[in-house]
Chains A and B, each alone.
Chain A
Amino acid sequence: EAQVTQNPRYLITVTGKKLTVTCSQNMNHEYMSWYRQDPGLGLRQIYYSMNVEVTDKGDVPEGYKVSRKEKRNFPLILESPSPNQTSLYFCASSPLDPKRTEAFFGQGTRLTVV
């Protein structure tokens, strides 16, 4: 089954404690992306990756890091989380073919930073 898997689904952590949210896709997609969703602000892109070892900043990259060492994995790293990073996070992947760029989303990670 084609899917994007995020872990964990829920996470409560303390300010400053480094954490990683994993994302894996099994569709051999080139493009992967992280979004955060906040009430009234919609989905905002944090980082994206066009392929292995190719990453770029989205609209709200501050406080986040990513890596793309393998095609299937695209972890999101918060080196020193702060309360303003409390949010619902989504990973997505899609092919780069201009004719079929539909994105597949993970189920989300609800992060609370206290």
Chain B
Amino acid sequence: SQQGEEDPQALSIQEGENATMNCSYKTSINNLQWYRQNSGRGLVHLILIRSNEREKHSGRLRVTLDTSKKSSSLLITASRAADTASYFCATDARSGGSNYKLTFGKGTLLTVNP
């Protein structure tokens, strides 16, 4: 089952602009994570926000989490051509003790034009 759903599916912007991607999920979570994937390569972890946090920053990345709406957003400021990649949200949902599952959405393809 798909826990996280990113929106939009694709985003094309000019270098220097900000890029915002959204993620919605369905069940209670322990934390939510964002990953980046360059074409055909492995995913790389960007940032993790816990369920009791509302906002987190890392360099040019800003993540927000609204557990009441079951949604998160990833903002990349002052984008660069090198930011061109697919971005995925992943939810860490726990059920029944320590049973743990990390579920990924389908991703947003970000293209930053020079």
Q: Which residues of A contact B (CB under 8 A)?
A: 4, 31, 33, 35, 40-43, 45, 48, 50, 58-59, 88, 90, 92, 94, 96, 98-108, 110
Contact = CB atoms under 8 A, between A and B. Distances in A.
Contacts, number: 68
A12 B105 CA distance: 28
B98 interface: yes
B40 A88 contact: yes
Given A98-B94, A101-B48, A105-B44, A42 B99 contact: no
Contacts of A45: 101-104
Given A50-B99, A88-B40, A104 B104 contact: no
A91 to B, nearest CB: 9
Contact of B42 (A41, A58, A105): A105
A48 B102 CA distance: 10
A88 B37 CA distance: 13
Interface residues of B, number: 28
A106 B45 contact: no
Contacts of B44: 105
